[in-house]
Structure 1
Amino acid sequence: MPFQNSSATTHRPRLILSGVMVVLLLLVVVIVSVAVLSSGRKATPGSSPAQWKGDGTTKHLQEIVLGRCYNFIATVNPELKDIDCLQVWQGLQNAIAYRDPCSTTEEDYRPLVDLASHFIPCNKSLFWSKTKDLVHRFTKANHDFLTLEDTLAGYIADELSWCGDLASPGINYQSCPKWSECENNPSTIYWKMASKMFAEAACGTVQVMLNGSIETGAFRNNSFFGGIEVPNLNPDKITEMHIWLIHDIDRPQRESCTGPSITTLKNILTSRKISVSCEENYRPVQLLQCASNPDHSTCKLCPYTTQ
C-alpha cells in the first residue's frame, strides 16, 4: 500500500504538467497563426488603390451619370424616353468595378454601348479634332448638326474620369491610368467604342471641323478621328465629307485646304470612294469666334477704306 500511494502521488503532477504544456503549445500555435494571417492580409496586393498619373474617378460619378442620362432622355432627345438609365449606370459600373484598369476590353463595355446606341439622322454627323470647345459652341447654336458628345454615349461621359481597382470599394477615386501608362485603360477603350459607333451610324453628307493652326497638322492618323472614325465610315451610306478647316483667330494659319495633312485625309477618303470638299474658316463657325473677338480684323464684314 505505501508503495502504491507513492506512485500515484508522483504521476499526478507529471500529468498536470503535461496538460499545461499542451495548452501552452496550442496557444502558441494559435498566436503564430493569427500573426501570419494578419501579416498576410496586410501584404495582399490591391489592399490599397493603385497609384496612377491621371485624375481619379470623378466624385459622385453615379449621381452625375444618372442625372445626365435622365436629362438626355427627358429634354435633349425625348424619343429615347424608354431607355432605362439605371441599366446605363449598371453597365458602366459592371465594366470597371473591381477590375484591373489596364486590362479593359471592348466586351466589358458592350452591354452599355449597345444600350446607349441610337439613331442619328443623315446629314447631321459632325466630327472634330482639336476643336472641341468651338465645335460644341457651334452645335449648341446650330441644331442641324450632332457631335459624338451630343449622343447619349458621349453626353453621359463627357469630361468625366473613371477607373476600377481590385481593392474595395472597387473604384479608384485617387488616380486613373493615362494612355501613356497603359493603352487599355477604361477611358480610352470607352471613347474608342463610342467613336466607332458614332462613325458607323453616320450617313449622307458628313462634316468634320479641324484646326488649321496647330503645328502637328490639322489631320493626324493617330487621333480618334483619324484612327477610329475615318476607318469606320461606311462608304455605302456616306455621299460626301465636308472639311471645315478653322484657323484660330489669334494664332498663325499653319495649314490650308491644300496642305499636306489635309491632302492625306482627302486621299484616304477618295480611296474609300467618299467624295470630299474643303472650306477654310467656314463663316458660321468664324462668327462664333468673332463673338469673343469682335474687334479682330478678321471679324470686320467690310474692311476700312481710305478716300
Structure 2
Amino acid sequence: MLYSAITAALLPMVFALSPVGQEFVGKCLYYQTTLNPLPFTDNKKNCSLLWESFRDAIAFQSPCHVDRQRFAGFCNESQHHVPSNKFVFWEHVYETVMRYTNRGKRAFSISDTLTGFLGDTKFCGSNSSSDGVEQDRSKCPGYEQTPTCPWPTEAAFWATASEYYSKSAQGEVEIMLDATSDPLFTNESYFIRFELPNLKDPRVTAARILLAHNSALPPRETCSGQSVEFLRRKLSDNGVTNVTCKINPSSLKFQLCSENPVLPFCSLDCDPNGAPLMYHQQVFIICWLLVTVTISTLLY
C-alpha cells in the first residue's frame, strides 16, 4: 500500500521526463514490483534518483568517448542482493543463458539484475536534447568498440556494470560458453577483461564451466581444450581451484532439447542411474528374443 502511494506520487515527475527517462523509470518500477520483488521488500530503490544518476553519466557526452567510471555511481546505487551460488557469467550465449536463468528465477546473469535490466537497451548522450540524452536511439553506436569509436556509451556502461557484478559474486559460480565457438572467447571480451579478474577466493569457492552445444555438428571446443585450460589457470591464480567443466550438463541439455528435440544428443537421455535408455531398450529386446527362442525350442 505504501509503495503504491509512493508510485502514485512519482507519476507527475515521470510524465515530466523525456520518453527515454519515462521508459527507464517504468522498467525500474516493473523490475522491483513484478520481475524480482524479493530483494526490495524492505528497501526499494528510488527510480527517479536512479534515472538522475544514469542520466548524469551519459548527458552531453560524446557517444564514442565515454569514461567508464562515469557509471560507477549508478552501478553502486542500483546494486542489490543476489543469492550465493546463483551467479552466472557467459560469453557468446546470450539467448541460451537468458532462458537458462529464467530472469532470476533460477539464477542471475548480469542482465537479470536491476543494473543490467535497466541498461539492456540502446542509449547515448546528445548535445541537442534538453536533458543531454539522445532520444533517437538509432543514432547511438551500440556497444562494439572500434578504432573510430573506442569507448561508446554502452561499452562504458557494460564494462563498469560487469566489474561491479563480478565483484559481488559469492559461492559457486557458473560460466556458460558456446562450444561451437572457436575460440570460446577472446582477450577483448567483457568476461575476460572485466569479470574473470574479480572471481576470487574466498568470495568465490568454486566454478562450473558449462559448454553449451546446440548443434548437430561436433563441438569445436571441449573441456580439454586450450580455452578451458586457460580459464582453469586464471581461476587458480585467483585462488579458485575447484573448477569443473561439462558439455551440456543435464540441466542445460533438457533446456536445449525442449527447444530443439531433433538434435542428435536428445535421443541419448539417461535414466536416474546414469545408463542410457537406448542401452536398456536394446537389452530388453535381446532378452525378449532369447526367451522367445527358448520357449519355441521347448515346445518343439
Superposition TM-score tier, normalisation by shorter sequence = 0.7 to 0.9
- Specify which structure has the bigger relative contact order, considering alpha-carbon pairs within 8 angstroms and separated by 6 or more residues: 1
1:196 aligns with 2:158: no
Alignment match, 1:135:
97
- Is 1:72–1:78's contact at 8 Å kept on the other side of the alignment? no
Structure 2 regions of 5+ residues with no counterpart?
Answer: 1-17, 270-276, 287-300
Which of 161-170 and 196-205 deviates more? 161-170
Aligned-pair identity (%): 27
Structure 1 regions of 5+ residues with no counterpart?
Answer: 1-58
- Is 1:219–1:265's contact at 8 Å kept on the other side of the alignment? no
How far is 1:77 from its partner? 2.6
1:218 aligns with 2:184: yes
- Is 1:213–1:254's contact at 8 Å kept on the other side of the alignment? yes
Cα distance in 1 for partners of 2:105, 2:173 equals: 14
- Is 2:100–2:106's contact at 8 Å kept on the other side of the alignment? no
Which of 295-304 and 180-189 deviates more? 295-304
The correspondence of residues 1-307 of structure 1 with structure 2, limited to 5 A, is 60-75=19-34, 76-80=36-40, 81-140=43-102, 143-158=105-120, 160-169=121-130, 170-172=132-134, 173=136, 174-177=138-141, 178-180=144-146, 181-215=148-182, 217-275=183-241, 276-300=243-267, 301=269, 302-303=277-278, 305=282
- Is 2:53–2:74's contact at 8 Å kept on the other side of the alignment? yes
Q: Deviations over 1:160-219 (max 9, x none)?
A: 11111223343332412342132222100100111111100001111111111113x123
Cα distance in 2 for partners of 1:252, 1:230 equals: 27
Cα distance in 2 for partners of 1:247, 1:284 equals: 13
Alignment match, 2:297:
none
- Is 2:180–2:219's contact at 8 Å kept on the other side of the alignment? yes
How far is 1:292 from its partner? 1.9
**SS at the partner of 1:119?**
coil
Cα distance in 1 for partners of 2:103, 2:38 equals: 19
- Is 1:202–1:233's contact at 8 Å kept on the other side of the alignment? yes
How far is 1:251 from its partner? 4.0
Change (3 A) 1:125 1:175: same
- Decide which structure has the larger Cα Rg and report it: 1
Count of matched residue positions in the alignment of Structure 1 and Structure 2? 247
Which of 164-173 and 178-187 deviates more? 164-173
How far is 1:142 from its partner? 7.8
